Structure 1
Amino acid sequence: MRIAVAKEIEVCERRVALIPDTVARLVKQGLEVWVETGAGERSFFSDSDYEAAGATIISDTAKLWGETDILLKVSPPQEREDGRSEVDLLKEGAVLVSFLNPLGNPVVAQQLANRKITALSMEMIPRTTRAQSMDALSSQASLAGYKAVLIAAAALPKYFPMLTTAAGTIAPAKVFIMGAGVAGLQAIATARRLGAVVEAFDIRPAVKEEVQSLGAKFVEVKLDEETVAAGGYAKEISEASKQRTQEVVAEHVKNSDVVITTAQVPGRQAPRLVTEEMVAQMKPGSVIVDLAAEQGGNCACTEPGKDIVWNGVTIIGPINLPSSMPIHASQLYAKNVTSLMQLLIKDKALQVDFSDDIVDAACVTHAGEIRNQRVRDALQALTTQQPAVN
């Protein structure tokens, strides 16, 4: 059984799918591991580190992709400089494990199905106790929440903590976290450690105790509908509920020095939580860090990948924040992927068992078909939106 680690070609991607420590564990289990030349460079893992762990370094990209049984990546397959898709480099029947964004970009899923690839998407790992060690969305979101607070602290023209000095007393910064998932909770904890006064909001009332346990005040909005989707994620709510939510949070946004938004819905545009009117009421010098920038942003003024100043408020729309901490991001992701490998490989042989709830949920394509109904629906919706060709 041969496992290969590809070098990421996406410009902003600095992570790698396996680190030397996890390679060594797989090699000890009798598995052959190939690593593409330079795959770990941007994560500060050298080719010699991988060789010492027992991996074989492969410089020929076509050989690595075309002769492996399982290919491990971080980012979804990309278009290469020669115009070919990385999907075309895989041999038919191979296994691909990666973030695939199948709900947001179902065309890639169709390409993988056409190639008869068994593709497992790390985004689709179910949020269950048994799958915790494989939950890459959570491990990477935690990094994003932490880094978002550091970015905000660096951009804010104030201290975060309260200080009492001979020159007077400095009041602590007021931080408002919107969304109390993994990223939001890590942001709360980090902002509190930096000495800020923290409030947090989430449409899911069940997270109230978690927010309070971290020392933040929970801003509650009572809604007359279910707010939790399958797997514990926040569910997209009605327009009436969105309006009610905005009315409640507007005052908290107005009075905050820092607002960090984290609300995302898989496969959908990010919910609009902060309107232009709210931003206009914030104090000059305030900062918004929008972790949903890649999905269109929770803030109406967000520009993905850019820092802008709007009416005196700095609005930051970072892209792929976990990649800015590639050592630990790769370490955590490699652990997630290795745990999934332990589930898939028995006695040095691949066993894709669809009676297992984790495998069944994560496997997007197999035997030439898209297995996941939500992905099929997303592809159908995309197809019907395409203009007719005369």
Structure 2
Amino acid sequence: MRLAVMKERRADEARVAATPETVKKLIALGNTVAVEAGAGLTAGIPDSAYAEAGAEIAPDAAAALSGAGIVLKVRAPLASGEEGPDELALIPRGALLIATMSADKDSVARLAAAGVDAAAMELLPRTTRAQSMDILSSQANLAGYRAVIEAASAFDKGFPMLMTAAGTIPAANVLVMGAGVAGLQAIATARRLGGRVSATDVRPAAKEEIKSLGASFVGYEDEESKAAQTSGGYAKAMSPEFLAKQAEVVAAAIAKMDIVVCTALVQGRRAPILVTEAMVASMKPGSVVVDIASDAGGNCALTKPGERVVTENGVIILGWRNWPARIPAAASSLYARNLLTFLTTFWDKDSSKPALPAEDDLVRGVMLTRGGQVVHPNFAAG
């Protein structure tokens, strides 16, 4: 089986879908691995490192994909009409494509028409069995870490309390909004840097998780908040009445904060607005809002996805896109291991190729297309 690792061409993407470590293990499964030249450079991995691991270095996408039965990517391949080469047209019919697809009905239909068997790893069910291949968790963890590091860089005072002969600099007051994987890592990182940290989340399990990391809990609690979590661990969309009461509590906290880190997402929907213009106006000059929900529209009303904004009252809002790609070496390492685990879990040693049983819950969760047909219920016609 020929396995191709492609160079990422989408804007703001610095990650790569395989590392020399995973290339060695993919070859040990019986694959020949072709890595497109330059695929790992933005993640600090030169072509020579892949070659030393046993990979063929292909000069371009067409050469890498020629005869490939498996294709690994970080983001969905470019299609006709998008800026750059038509990568989808270069993928052989019948090949298994494993990537973060960010799919909609049109893009899934194109994959089916191209005859590509596409696995969207962001749709992997969040079960115990799937933890080691869960790309959302691995990447969110690093996004939460990076958010706090960038907040510290943008903040014009010290993060920890600094006692000097000339006087004392107080510790930064940090509020983390959303205590999922990214939020919990943001809490832990802010605590390690010496900040005074508090956090908020509508999910009932979050309060104890927040406290277990040494942060204080901020939030409104009622009967609705006790059922604010899906069976998959995601936050549910809340009623306008609850959100209004939650906003009152959060607004009072935000006015006292130096740094606000926004991480709240609702699966399949636009990110909820949690920090209003009025809340930003209440913050001190030099305060920082970091919005890692920016790819989904942002949790802050003033976030401009992909940009750094300074408001009239001097608040800095960081709304960079694709936060995991801002720490590309580590993010690539974890992402590549997630894909390797997925492949090895379903690897048939006798045929030296993946066997993806349609009845398996993980396979059913990620497969968008198969044999030229749309198979995922979220995207099927009707």
**Quick check: TM above 0.5?**
yes
| Within-5 A mapping of 1:83-122 | 85-102=86-103, 105-122=104-121
Aligned equivalents of 2:144, 2:186: Cα separation in 1: 5
Following superposition, the deviation at residue 156 of structure 1 comes to 1.1
Following superposition, the deviation at residue 256 of structure 1 comes to 0.5
Residue deviations 1:232-277, cap 9 Å, x none? 1112222222222212211111111100000112331110101111
Larger deviation, residues 227-236 vs 147-156: 227-236
Following superposition, the deviation at residue 83 of structure 1 comes to 6.2
Quick check: 1:178 aligned with 2:174?
no
Stretches of 4+ aligned residues off by more than 3 angstroms: 79-85
**Who is 2:58 aligned against?**
58
Aligned equivalents of 1:238, 1:90: Cα separation in 2: 45
Determine if contact 2:145/2:185 at 8 Å carries over to the other structure. yes
Name the amino acid aligned to 1:173: A
Alpha carbons of structure 1 residues 328 and 83: separation in structure 2 relative to 1, 3 Å: closer
**Who is 1:71 aligned against?**
71
Larger deviation, residues 28-37 vs 225-234: 225-234
Alpha-carbon RMSD across the aligned residues, in angstroms, is 1.7
Aligned equivalents of 1:167, 1:211: Cα separation in 2: 35
Alpha carbons of structure 1 residues 82 and 140: separation in structure 2 relative to 1, 3 Å: closer
Name the amino acid aligned to 1:334: A
Aligned equivalents of 2:5, 2:230: Cα separation in 1: 33
Following superposition, the deviation at residue 122 of structure 1 comes to 1.4
Quick check: 1:46 aligned with 2:46?
yes
Determine if contact 2:160/2:172 at 8 Å carries over to the other structure. yes
**Who is 1:312 aligned against?**
314
Residue deviations 1:178-201, cap 9 Å, x none? 000111001000000010000000
Larger deviation, residues 194-203 vs 355-364: 355-364
Following superposition, the deviation at residue 116 of structure 1 comes to 2.4
Match of 2:364 among 347, 352, 360: 360
**Who is 1:154 aligned against?**
153
TM-score norm. by structure 1 comes to: 0.92
Alpha carbons of structure 1 residues 357 and 165: separation in structure 2 relative to 1, 3 Å: same
Residue deviations 1:200-240, cap 9 Å, x none? 00010102221111110112322443311241111222222
Following superposition, the deviation at residue 48 of structure 1 comes to 1.6
SS in 1 for 2:119: strand
TM-score norm. by structure 2 comes to: 0.94
SS in 1 for 2:129: coil
SS in 1 for 2:77: coil
**Who is 1:384 aligned against?**
none
Name the amino acid aligned to 1:58: A
| Within-5 A mapping of 1:317-332 | 317-332=319-334
SS in 1 for 2:109: helix
Residue deviations 1:77-102, cap 9 Å, x none? 22477765322221221111000012
Alpha carbons of structure 1 residues 301 and 60: separation in structure 2 relative to 1, 3 Å: closer
Determine if contact 1:205/1:220 at 8 Å carries over to the other structure. no
Name the amino acid aligned to 2:58: I
SS in 2 for 1:73: strand
**Who is 1:385 aligned against?**
none
Following superposition, the deviation at residue 374 of structure 1 comes to 2.6
SS in 2 for 1:299: coil
Match of 1:340 among 342, 346, 353: 342
**Who is 1:127 aligned against?**
126
**Who is 1:383 aligned against?**
none
Aligned equivalents of 2:113, 2:180: Cα separation in 1: 35
| Within-5 A mapping of 1:1-390 | 1-79=1-79, 85-102=86-103, 105-225=104-224, 226-310=227-311, 311-347=313-349, 348-376=352-380
Determine if contact 1:37/1:57 at 8 Å carries over to the other structure. yes
Following superposition, the deviation at residue 146 of structure 1 comes to 0.5
Structure 2 gap segments, 5+ residues each: none
Name the amino acid aligned to 2:307: K
Name the amino acid aligned to 1:320: N
Report the number of matched residues.
Answer: 376
Larger deviation, residues 38-47 vs 81-90: 81-90
Alpha carbons of structure 1 residues 187 and 82: separation in structure 2 relative to 1, 3 Å: closer
Aligned equivalents of 1:148, 1:166: Cα separation in 2: 32
Name the amino acid aligned to 2:10: E
Name the amino acid aligned to 2:39: A
Aligned equivalents of 2:365, 2:62: Cα separation in 1: 30
Determine if contact 2:161/2:170 at 8 Å carries over to the other structure. yes
Name the amino acid aligned to 1:135: D
Aligned equivalents of 1:262, 1:82: Cα separation in 2: 30
Determine if contact 2:5/2:17 at 8 Å carries over to the other structure. yes
Aligned equivalents of 1:216, 1:137: Cα separation in 2: 24
SS in 2 for 1:374: coil
Name the amino acid aligned to 2:314: G
Aligned equivalents of 1:141, 1:269: Cα separation in 2: 17
Determine if contact 2:204/2:229 at 8 Å carries over to the other structure. no
Larger deviation, residues 126-135 vs 193-202: 126-135
SS in 1 for 2:242: helix
Name the amino acid aligned to 1:20: P
Residue deviations 1:42-99, cap 9 Å, x none? 1121222111111111114223224210100001122477765322221221111000
Determine if contact 2:79/2:89 at 8 Å carries over to the other structure. no
